[in-house]
Structure 1
């Protein structure tokens, strides 16, 4: 909603700048540019109409963040026990689960497998592109932040101030940001005891954890509380390496912050 608001405001400013020409050719009626008096200043009527359209999405985002923070604090004050998940088989693109047991009052609904590439460590990434730690940052990266100012997923300097919703700075992380390069398999309903989860259509490497390249696999289980609150439980898994050659022609990018 912020983009349409900014677009409306920019168009209103452009029309206001071209006001004399537009009135002379009769393209826009004169009353649209009628000034409105507020105290000692005059404000164009069109700007007064466009500005609320611009500011309302920002106010909605602030209200949504406040609501998310309240929900996080409620969970922290009364945390839930971890679910019991028994995995019987893990192959290169399939996981079989024998049992899923959630705490009382929470009903699992569906599950899926997802895989993605984690962001490399900052020092390793800078070294790979020939940049120094305190030199000019690479495109798409900010300067290094002090540890006391680092928020979720901002330690590498490529997503500063863009966490939505806002996470609460507590010991246990409640909000996980999606990986910027991420693929996933189909959702599978949890209505039987033995569940078979299939991976993505594209072939991916097995689990890799290194400073430069990290292929992360996980199971995502969507559940619902008795009061209607929906939540997801994420469990990392170690997937086997496929025997065939892996080629991903089109990388599934999920974030505009991913640099080519």
Structure 2
């Protein structure tokens, strides 16, 4: 039985080496996969007892399923990366090629690079701004980025996720009900996002660190410099807004 395990381990070795030569897995991933799957393959046939063999076989099956899923995902990513190179070459040949720019944005979105996809689609719409389909797609991606980068709350009516702080649901347009505790958290988060509040908090943190690390006179001088710098930044920001 051990011979069958060795044969299975050798088959795993050949498969992983083939993936590694085609760039689907890194050298470290290949070594780990060979060690894990090869060891399990030998363990399935060399284990004593039905339960030990069944346990090793179950782990091997689960890992094989994960390995196949990873292979399919990496293959799809490699396909889109090849497409990206083709689209970029077409854009270099004709910078106003809207079709290539739109396809480039979709390819970046397919591999999970949402920020680059939004940037590419914005450039495409700057060339042809009247395309309704691409405008809706851009709004959808921008909303996905907002949901990714900000806290969310679920609408109690339609169970749609909304960005924290919105008053109406994006889907059903019903008022979003915030719990009392959540309302306080929302107010605090809105206050913290204010640039003046952030500046004050930063000065307080730096001052506390200076008092802890420096002698009193040096800390006082350092804090005064920080206050003057903060006042200068606030004046610049206010003049820029006006």
Larger strand proportion, structure 1 or 2? 1
**Whose relative contact order is higher, 1 or 2, with alpha carbons under 8 Å and at least 6 apart?**
1
TM-score (ref. length: structure 2): 0.25
Larger radius of gyration: 2
Structure with the larger helix share: 2
Relative to the length of structure 1, the TM-score reads 0.24
